[in-house]
Structure 1
Amino acid sequence: MNLELRWQENSWTSCLHAAQILSGKAPENASESLVTHVAPAAKRLIQEVERAAIAPKLFWRHALPLSAQMTGKSELAGVVLRKTRGLDVSESSHRATISGALADLAVAYQSAVPKVNEELSLRRRPLQEAWEARGPGLMYFLNRVLPEEFIPDLASVILVLPVSGGRGTAHLSYNSLRMEAMLYDPHPQLPEVVRLGWLISQLNIDLPKYSELIEPDRIPMVARLATLPAILYAAEEVELVRPGTVSLAEALKLWQVAHAGHEALAEIVTQWWQTQESRRAAWHVALAGLDRMLG
């Protein structure tokens, strides 16, 4: 395995990251400035997205990783429309209304966080240094229990300003991941460098050889859950997590994998993992089995 990470600090993705979170119920620890300035603009953006007959979840799935590649609001709106609704719609009036809402959102975010670039540049170093020191060992033990092909050769790490005190998402279709760049570990018992390893381990699960039996919309959740027992094992092996101190249910809660039902979900994943350890089914079969167990 020869994993290469490309690190990015991205103010535009930070803006959309905040908008995704604040378009719903604001976290208790969200800053008042973000809530005041960004939440109304985020809600207006979602209104325009829904007028274009795009589910907000699908919009964010493309807009967030794409924003790290393109800064133009009209360009981003057009590409997302093309990916979600088709070529004809990408040139419709919806492109102008969504790009206008994106432009308003950018202005609102700049008002709330005027020094976003300076803040991001300060936040990259702690996580990158932690990864360079501990990441290779983490990946070594991860590959003892997961297929080596789960780990891509190249991945982009998109760092964004925190909104909710630590959060991360793997963008499987774009071979990238997005993480709130924390200056400290918000959960010392489960360090952020472990979260980074967990997100990386999900990125190749959408390959047809692993996911052909799973509905595309369900692949991200299956990937998140299937890799969780493995990353906790690897983290214990390299002494990033003290053995027996972080349960699957606690990891689900701390990393916001699910909003509720952590114990029941952890029981399903544990049962699946133990079965896979004993039976060693082909991974595409095993992942499809987890998908069925999730219902």
Structure 2
Amino acid sequence: MAKKSNLRFQPAVDLSVIHASFVVATGGVCSDQRTESALLGPTSEINTRLVSALTDVRAFWSALFAAVAAGRSARQACPSALASAGCSELQIDQTAAALGSQLDQCRIVYQQRFPKLKEQLDLRAGPLKDRWQTYGPGLLIETARLIWGSTPPEKWWPDEVDCLLVQPVRGGDGGFDSGQCRVWIEAMLTDADPAVGEIFRLAFWVTQVAVGRHLAATLGHVEATSHPEDFGSGTHRRTSLPWDLGCVPVVLTAGANLELFRADPLPIQTAVGLWRLGDESVGAVVANWWDQWKDAGAAMPVALKALDRMLAPLRKRPETAGTLDEDDSSDNRSVR
């Protein structure tokens, strides 16, 4: 039996600022209009400066998010984030100095909006933390069993995973960094959707950490790690197999097997949309795939190859081809 991971819940004040700024700066759906209005000015100025320096705006925010998640201040992380986003070496120091003032302004207006954020995040963490301590370990064990059958790898789950809790600005969101055994999640007081509890979102991202570690161990580490995709989520190893989408029904089935909820059919399409992995058509394909393969007894990579073939027609749609092939969508991660 694969040993489960111990989750270390940590309120993330600085990351909350960057998360909210990232959402506003990149045009993501924001459920907090007051925060969005407060951050619109400084983030717009940052973006204008990035464009004038011929720097990839989204790549900058993503690299900044990853660095702040690792414990650096936004000012400290700014030069390396600019370098990751393609800023000319000759412009980095001058641009970083200019952006530092605006990043400070983001922090100031956010602190004015949430003056007791640390205490607020501690309180918000309570319901999810309590539920995870009760049901999370069993959910991970059952998820590993469904992926690997009766013989999951001994070190499939890392010993410890840091869970960074950020202030909600999107009505529920999360991500991961497999290289650092780290996940982050908006600290929701209640489930964003009663059909799919936040505990399953958290289990999904912890599973992505395990997947990324497994791919790195079996395929080898890449020479240069990429910045996490989208809102700070991502693995350092790309793969042609759609592990992210394939793990959605696995986690939900694990919950159903443990009687954490009762639903027939499983809310697969709801979860795909809620976790911003794809639109309704993507969710429908994943649900159809699971119906065909859940009892096939095939190894996960074999089943995922079938899912990839089933998703192929969606990549040809003119209106969605860009978001299915590139990591540039504000609210739906790519099919890959």
Identify which range, 115-124 or 94-103, moves more after superposition: 94-103
Counterpart Cα distance in 1 of 2:166 and 2:29: 16
How many Å separate the matches in 2 of 1:175 and 1:86?
Answer: 28
Instruction: Note the C-alpha offset of 1:113.
Output: 1.8
Q: Is residue 2:168 matched to residue 1:162? A: yes
Q: Which runs of 5+ in 2 are unaligned?
A: 221-225, 230-237, 316-336
1:74 aligns to 2:92 (yes or no): no
Alignment correspondent of 2:277? 257
Match of residue 11 from structure 1: 13
Q: What amino acid is the match of 2:38?
A: H
What's the offset of the Cα at 1:50? 3.7
Structure 2 residue aligned with 1:278: 296
Given that 2:60 and 2:84 are in contact with CA atoms closer than 8 Å, whether structure 1 keeps it comes out as: no
- Aligned residues, how many? 288
Deviation per CA, 1:144-186, whole angstroms, max 9, x where unpaired? 1224455333221110011122111223343211111011223
Normalising by structure 2, we get a TM-score of: 0.74
Q: Aligned with 1:5: secondary structure? A: strand
1:235 aligned residue: 255
Letter in structure 2 aligned against 1:21: V
Give the corresponding residue for 1:141: 142
Aligned-residue offset at 1:11: 1.0
Pairing 1:181-196 to 2, within 5 Å after superposition: 181-196=187-202
Structure 1: tracts of 5 or more residues without a match = none
Residue 44 (structure 1) aligns with: 45
1:278 alignment partner AA: A
CA gap of 1:151–1:288, structure 2 versus 1, over 3 A, is farther
Which whole-Å CA distance do the structure 2 matches of 1:66 and 1:20 have between them?
Answer: 13
* Structure 1 letter corresponding to 2:11: E
1:236 Cα deviation after fit: 0.7
Deviation at 1:243, TM superposition (A): 2.8
CA gap of 1:197–1:90, structure 2 versus 1, over 3 A, is farther
CA contact (8 A) 2:196 2:270 kept: no
Aligned to 2:36: 35
SS of the residue corresponding to residue 256 of structure 1 reads coil
Partners of 2:124 and 2:187 within 8 A in 1: yes
**Structure 1 residues 271 and 77: CA distance shift in structure 2, 3 A:** same
Superposition map of 1:57-136 within 5 A:
57-85=58-86, 88=89, 91-136=92-137
CA contact (8 A) 1:165 1:182 kept: yes
Confirm or deny that 1:269 pairs with 2:269.
Answer: no
Q: What code does the residue aligned with 2:191 have?
A: D
CA drift of 1:225 comes to 0.9
Q: Secondary structure at the match of 1:169?
A: strand
Query: In 2 relative to 1, CA 85–151 (structure 1 residues): closer, same or farther, beyond 3 Å?
Result: farther
Distance in 2 separating the partners of 1:67 and 1:220: 29
Q: Give the one of 210, 216, 231 matched to 1:208.
A: 216
For residues 115 and 187 of structure 1, the distance between their equivalents in structure 2, rounded to whole angstroms, comes to: 27
Maintained 8 Å contact 1:124/1:181: yes
Report the more deviating stretch, 56-65 or 232-241: 56-65
The CA deviation at 1:57 is: 3.3
Q: Percent identity?
A: 25
TM (norm. structure 1) is 0.83
| Shift in alpha-carbon separation, 1:41–1:133, aligned structure 2, 3 A | same
Q: Which amino acid aligns with 2:94?
A: S
Give the superposition deviation at 1:280. Answer: 2.4
